[in-house]
Structure 1
Amino acid sequence: MQPILEIKAFFFNAQTDYLPYYKNFSIELAEDMQTKDILAFIQEQNENFTYPEENLIFKINGLVIDGDQRMSEVVERLGTSLQIDPVNSYRSSNGLIIDDSDFMKSYEILAPFASDEDLEYYKTLYALHYASETENFDRTYIGDAILVLAHKLITADSEQKEAILEAITYPYSSLLDCEYENNLYYAQDHTAAIEELKMMVKPSTTDTPSFMDTLSARFAEKKAAFLKKEEKEVTVVTVEGKQIAYYAGAVTGNTNNINEKIVQANSKVISFSRANKLSGLSLLEDNKTLAYTKAATTLLDALDSGAQVLIVEEQEVYDMFKNNFANIEKTIGRDIDLELISSADFMDSKVSIGSGNHKSRETVYMREMTANSI
């Protein structure tokens, strides 16, 4: 017997509706069913449901997907409870049909430097444009696709480099606002290209340090750290019986180990949607407001999902959260009552369990921190 899909589908008509809404449908999964067959089935059940005939891309559970994807693979990955949305809800004009004029508007930025062949290449990046995570935080963002095209153009013709870099940097929400990640069903990693563009815009102002300079700097850092030891204080976080979420960010493969230790600590594992999203670390230098907004969105997602404690995988991200916590709260306009622990501290700590007496069971995680690190 084939599984039953529980579908929550997006409805909106700009001519008649003030706000979008959802309707529920139950569909039996057929063996050779594709994603576009799901859309056709919903339309048969409700004629008000609409979707584009060309450039058919849309979201299933937040991931951008095309109409030819096999549903059996989607179900294997995402389960049988599925939500269907347009690739950009704010640009929906009728159901999954969107006003996609912004796609070609972004192309106009680089049109003076591009050939017909470049235009055809850009059109293949249509889904990438609408899968941008950055656009979720800034609707004026020019899109990842145009940045990828810019890198291609500069690689092919370095003489246009400065003009192209200026075009994609000012005055829009653009290159320096991009912390690259996308929401494609089959993710594409253009991180290296984006970072290379950023380095072109803001090259190093100093010569590359020599080996001795680097070595001397390391010794200086170690000496400074040693001298600060006496200034350190101990922060104690008790996690026994609390609800704990784990923020992995860009790191994969450690979730099971963390969750296992949470259970060992007699605590409850809390899942939240942004557990594997980026949180603005790479934007801190160029756009603090956007960086704080992304950080706050992650922290509030964990908090609103029920977490009392958040374990943070990457030390640099943990430090960003802690060092900028007041600014993060101020930017989002909410108090974030959430205790933070780094993954390293959490995993290195011992779980102490009292023998034969549950009341004596206690798990405490201790972190040495400098007084000025918060």
Structure 2
Amino acid sequence: MKLEISLFRFDYKSDYLPYYTKNFIKIKNEKTLQEILNTINDEAPFEYRNTDHFLLVVNGYYTTTATTISDLVEDFGTDLTIEPISIRRAHTDLCINDADFQERLKVLAEFIDEEDIKKYNEYKIYFYASNTINYEYDYIGDAILLLAYDLIQKDNSKEKDILEALKEYECGAQFHTNLKNRVFNFDNEVENKIETIREKLKLIKPIKEQNLFLDKKNSIDFGTFEDDYKIKHNFEDFNLAYFSGLEKDVQTLQLLESLNAKIIDTPSMHTDLALQTFHVNSDFSIKLASTVMLDAFDNSADLLVVDCENLFYLFDSNRKAMQKVSGREIILPVIHKNELQKLVSGEHEAVKPQLKKHVIDPEII
């Protein structure tokens, strides 16, 4: 097996911008990412840490050098891009300055001992993997939320004081975004612990109970999805972006796969929009949503497809709010999977009244 690896390179002393080197590696005895880095380093030295717990990013997913090559190839194929866990904090090649991570520990400084500090360092991957810090650089960090969970488990008499310390931090747990599609082979128990802390802080509310209308309240009956549809319009020459969020919908995937449209698939189409805290932090969710819309638009999508009503209303009904936070027009039409199915089936007249209720009618395309 032969790997094609694009390796991030940067020297803060001499480089203005980072660059990537191409490395073609024919696998011999290498089993892990650490061994691959060692092989590359033998031929063209670069900065990294030769340990099995060194953190890095492979094809957009956060992982460690202990990860096996077989697992990576199974998920990503043989074309791999290796980057530091924070390009913003890159120091030399794959090594970073983690002062921002260490600084957050002050939030819980009065409650911790040496063992707790070791535990916090084990959570570093979750600090940098969070999509939140791409938008809110002062975010408290998921590592602190995990440490808070551990501290309360160790001594619940300190729970009130620990939660109070978290509340006092301005960019706190209300800015958390799910780590599921960010960390390679993610353990969902990590997310469960963070959600426990957010529940204790009384921050979250089920999405179905959220009022996601900031600009214009709109109510549309999307009807039902007919599984036995026949394709009369295959959407050839169309570019469709599907925002699935954390979980892909089988009906939507099968519908899109049956078409001749080009599917726009970027990392933002699989992100968490922090909707459980929309009632206390709507601006943040709107900022995330605007990124999705603009990413789809900038990649030439004709339509953004969604698979649930809440997402439709978030994207279609809050265009003014999204334009305000992004500084750009939000003109991409949004369509619910049930509407798309009817258009595919040639039921244009049946779905036309629904489409006219959209803030931007998809019929214009």
Do residues 186 (structure 1) and 182 (structure 2) align?
no
Structure 1 pair 316–192 and aligned structure 2 pair: CA distance change class (3 A)? farther
Offset at 1:154?
2.4
| 1:326-341 pair list within 5 angstroms | 326-341=320-335
Q: 1:289 aligns with which of 257, 260, 283?
A: 283
- Structure 1 counterpart of 2:304: 310
Query: Do 1:13 and 1:94's aligned partners in 2 also have CA atoms closer than 8 Å?
Result: yes
Rounded to whole Å, the distance in 1 between the matches of 2:357 and 2:249 is 33
Q: Which runs of 4+ in 1 moved over 6 A?
A: 231-234, 361-364, 369-374
| 1:272-287 pair list within 5 angstroms | 272-287=266-281
Offset at 1:160?
2.0
Structure 1 pair 367–315 and aligned structure 2 pair: CA distance change class (3 A)? farther
The superposition leaves residues 350-371 of structure 1 with CA deviations (integer Å, 9 ceiling, x where unpaired) of 6345xxxxxxx97985463896
Rounded to whole Å, the distance in 1 between the matches of 2:62 and 2:150 is 23
Structure 1 pair 76–192 and aligned structure 2 pair: CA distance change class (3 A)? closer
Do residues 368 (structure 1) and 364 (structure 2) align?
no
Q: Helix, strand or coil: the match of 1:341?
A: strand
| 1:1-374 pair list within 5 angstroms | 2=1, 4-30=2-28, 32-47=30-45, 49-53=46-50, 55-182=53-180, 183-189=182-188, 190-202=190-202, 240-241=235-236, 242-252=238-248, 254=250, 257-262=251-256, 264=258, 266-347=260-341, 349=342, 351-352=344-345, 365-366=351-352, 368=354
Rounded to whole Å, the distance in 2 between the matches of 1:239 and 1:340 is 18
Structure 1 pair 286–52 and aligned structure 2 pair: CA distance change class (3 A)? farther
Query: Do 2:240 and 2:264's aligned partners in 1 also have CA atoms closer than 8 Å?
Result: yes
Rounded to whole Å, the distance in 2 between the matches of 1:150 and 1:369 is 47
TM-score, normalisation: structure 2: 0.80
Offset at 1:266?
4.8
Structure 1 pair 266–63 and aligned structure 2 pair: CA distance change class (3 A)? closer
Structure 1 pair 343–128 and aligned structure 2 pair: CA distance change class (3 A)? same
The superposition leaves residues 108-129 of structure 1 with CA deviations (integer Å, 9 ceiling, x where unpaired) of 2212112443333323222222
Identity percentage of aligned residues: 28
Unaligned stretches of 5+ residues in structure 1? 205-227, 354-360
* Structure whose CA Rg is larger: 1
The superposition leaves residues 179-214 of structure 1 with CA deviations (integer Å, 9 ceiling, x where unpaired) of 23252212132333333323332379xxxxxxxxxx
TM-score, normalisation: structure 1: 0.79
Offset at 1:273?
2.2
Query: Do 1:179 and 1:283's aligned partners in 2 also have CA atoms closer than 8 Å?
Result: no
Aligned length: 335
Q: Which stretch shifts more, 295-304 or 26-35?
A: 26-35
Rounded to whole Å, the distance in 2 between the matches of 1:104 and 1:309 is 43
Q: Helix, strand or coil: the match of 2:286?
A: helix
- Structure 1 counterpart of 2:228: none
Q: Which stretch shifts more, 265-274 or 302-311?
A: 265-274
Rounded to whole Å, the distance in 2 between the matches of 1:367 and 1:274 is 30
- Across the aligned residues of Structure 1 and Structure 2, the Cα RMSD in angstroms comes to 3.2
Query: Do 1:87 and 1:131's aligned partners in 2 also have CA atoms closer than 8 Å?
Result: yes
Rounded to whole Å, the distance in 2 between the matches of 1:267 and 1:369 is 20
